């Protein structure tokens, strides 16, 4: 690429503070921090030459850098609740140009939109690059009847006549801005100080991608949507760590008259573990359960086990350090709330299909199989396919 040619730069403002959802830009959806999701979406869009994250926060900066973005540190006066996104973008442009970068087109992405479609973003960039528009924004088509309340509290129709209710196919569609991305010429933005100027066009996106996270309820919805819409694929990790009860077992136990416990496991999981072991990928069973059945199963599988562990996060950190294994390269498979601390520190938190709702929300991957019914085998096959 000609280093003097104006570049198309994606800019993602992501400050550390947030009132409604604490540390919002670092909250995970589909197991991935929101700011990282935005970086990935931008990087996957053809036509974008550089991805930049503007932040005042050290942790956000570290996550963004690890995801492949360039970080621009935002000053405190542009990081408060009243600071505008426009001010952050202008500051980022000034910093880039001070470093010798020539920016022709800006793609402004909001990390609080977790489902930014890279193909639509790339098409928007091409609209501006091809001189068919000066600014483009993401929006989804809607046929909804809109209303407002007047000063007396009475309902007033906005985009239709209240006395006339035409069928959907007879109505003109409108478009609702999603807030996910805006693409515009850098020079025009500097002049207008606004994201809409000149010839403005709509980048149509699917309605399900339109969610913006401003409160805890929207975060829960986004996490649920992630497991429904994100396509299963390989899981590229260097190690697998699993819980035992509810993962290798169906989370039930048979207790005999002497108080001994028996559990049900899957032979299919056993074959999967054997395949993983032959491939040289480490596997650890990490369990709070003290019953010797856990060690007996681990010995049968010929894998290491840590059981009777109260602090799974600490045990996992120690194991990863001792084995010189980056936490980002570990998949942790869990099913219940005591797995959450360990799931939150690894790169690939994974849940069995029948996991606790809070575990499903935190998972980057939700398997199709239940605990004790081949879930471990399913995870292993996706790891080996990578």
Bridge-based pairing of strands 50-55 and 7-13 is parallel
Q: Is the pLDDT of residue 301 over 90?
A: yes
What's the Cα-to-Cα distance from 321 to each of 153, 213, 325, 343, rounded to whole Å? 62, 35, 6, 16
- Pair 92, 54: CB distance under 8 Å: yes
- Indicate the pTM of the whole model: 0.77
- The count of residues in the chain is 386
Least confident window among 41-50, 68-77, 194-203, 228-237: 228-237
What pLDDT score was predicted for residue 86?
92
pLDDT bracket for residue 69 (50, 70, 90): very high
Residues 331-346, mean pLDDT to the nearest whole number: 97
Residues 245-258, mean pLDDT to the nearest whole number: 88
Residues 315-344, mean pLDDT to the nearest whole number: 97
Instruction: Provide, rounded to the nearest whole percent, the portion of the chain with pLDDT above 70.
Output: 99
What pLDDT score was predicted for residue 291?
84
pLDDT bracket for residue 353 (50, 70, 90): very high
Residues 99-127, mean pLDDT to the nearest whole number: 96
Nearest to 332 by CA among 345, 343, 340: 343
Q: What is the mean pLDDT of the chain?
A: 92
The Cα 243–Cα 286 span in angstroms is 5
Q: Which residues contact 305 (CB under 8 A, 6 or more apart)?
A: 244, 284, 285, 286, 287, 294, 295, 298, 299
pLDDT tens profile 303-327: 999 999 999 999 999 999 999 999 9
- Pair 363, 256: CB distance under 8 Å: no
Bridge-based pairing of strands 305-307 and 50-55 is unpaired
What pLDDT score was predicted for residue 40?
96
What pLDDT score was predicted for residue 82?
76
What pLDDT score was predicted for residue 3?
55
SS3 79: coil
pLDDT tens profile 202-236: 999 999 999 999 999 999 999 888 877 877 789 99
Q: Which residues contact 282 (CB under 8 A, 6 or more apart)?
A: 238, 239, 240, 323, 325
DSSP per position, 274-312: HHHHHTT--EEEEES--STHHHHHHHHHT--EEES-S-H
What pLDDT score was predicted for residue 18?
80
Domains in the chain, CATH or no CATH each: 7-229 (3.90.550.10), 239-384 (3.40.50.1000)
The Cα 53–Cα 59 span in angstroms is 12
What pLDDT score was predicted for residue 76?
83
Residues 97-113, mean pLDDT to the nearest whole number: 95
Given CA atoms 366, 367, 369, 372 in this order, what sign does their dihedral have? negative
Q: Is the pLDDT of residue 4 over 70?
A: no
Q: Is the pLDDT of residue 187 over 90?
A: yes
Q: Is the pLDDT of residue 259 over 80?
A: no
Counts of helices then strands in the chain (DSSP H, E): 12, 19
Q: Is the pLDDT of residue 1 over 70?
A: no
What pLDDT score was predicted for residue 253?
83
Q: Which residues contact 347 (CB under 8 A, 6 or more apart)?
A: 237, 326, 327, 328, 329, 330, 331, 364
The Cα 101–Cα 99 span in angstroms is 6
Identify the top-confidence range among 72-76, 99-103, 137-141: 137-141
Nearest to 81 by CA among 39, 25, 13, 19: 19
Q: Is the pLDDT of residue 169 over 90?
A: no
pLDDT bracket for residue 134 (50, 70, 90): very high
pLDDT tens profile 80-91: 777 888 999 999
Q: Is the pLDDT of residue 2 over 60?
A: no
What's the Cα-to-Cα distance from 206 to each of 86, 116, 232, 281, rounded to whole Å? 26, 10, 19, 39
Instruction: Provide, rounded to the nearest whole percent, the portion of the chain with pLDDT above 90.
Output: 76
pLDDT bracket for residue 377 (50, 70, 90): very high
Cα-based angle 285, 228, 313 (whole degrees, multiple of 5): 25
Nearest to 339 by CA among 349, 329, 326: 349
Which residue in this structure is represented by tokens 């416990």?
Answer: 261
């Amino acid at each position: 690429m000609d280093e003097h040619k104006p570049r198309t730069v994606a800019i993602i403002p992501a400050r550390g503070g947030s009132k409604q959802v604490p540390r919002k830009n670092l909250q995970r959806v589909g197991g991935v921090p929101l700011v990282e999701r935005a970086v990935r979406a931008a990087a996957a869009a053809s036509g974008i030459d550089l991805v930049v994250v503007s932040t005042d926060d050290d942790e956000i900066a570290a996550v963004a850098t690890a995801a492949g973005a360039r970080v621009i540190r935002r000053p405190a006066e542009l990081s408060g609740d009243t600071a505008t996104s426009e001010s952050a973008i202008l500051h980022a442009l000034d910093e880039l140009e001070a470093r010798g970068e020539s920016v022709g087109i800006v793609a402004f992405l909001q990390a609080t939109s977790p489902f930014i479609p890279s193909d639509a973003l790339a098409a928007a960039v091409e609209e501006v690059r091809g001189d068919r528009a000066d600014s483009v924004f993401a929006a989804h088509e809607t046929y909804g009847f809109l209303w407002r309340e007047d000063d007396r509290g009475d309902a007033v129709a906005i985009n239709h006549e209240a006395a006339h209710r035409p069928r959907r196919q007879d109505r003109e569609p409108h478009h609702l801005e999603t807030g996910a991305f805006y693409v515009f010429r850098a020079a025009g933005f500097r002049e207008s100080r606004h994201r809409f100027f000149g010839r403005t066009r709509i980048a149509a996106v699917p309605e399900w991608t339109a969610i913006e996270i401003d409160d805890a309820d929207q975060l829960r919805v986004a996490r649920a949507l992630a497991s429904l819409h994100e396509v299963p694929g390989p899981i590229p990790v260097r190690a697998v760590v699993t819980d035992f009860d509810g993962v290798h077992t169906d989370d039930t136990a048979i207790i005999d008259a002497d108080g001994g416990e028996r559990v049900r496991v899957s032979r299919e999981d056993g074959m999967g573990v054997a395949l993983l072991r032959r491939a040289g990928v480490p596997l650890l069973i990490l369990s709070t359960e003290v019953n010797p059945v856990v060690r007996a199963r681990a010995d049968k599988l010929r894998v290491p086990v840590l059981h009777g562990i109260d602090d799974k996060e600490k045990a996992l950190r120690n194991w990863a350090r001792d084995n010189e294994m980056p936490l980002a390269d570990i998949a942790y498979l869990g099913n219940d709330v005591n797995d959450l601390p360990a799931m939150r520190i690894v790169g690939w938190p994974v849940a069995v299909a029948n996991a606790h709702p809070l575990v499903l929300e935190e998972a980057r991957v939700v398997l199709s199989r239940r605990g004790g019914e081949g879930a471990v085998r399913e995870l292993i096959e996706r790891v080996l396919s990578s």
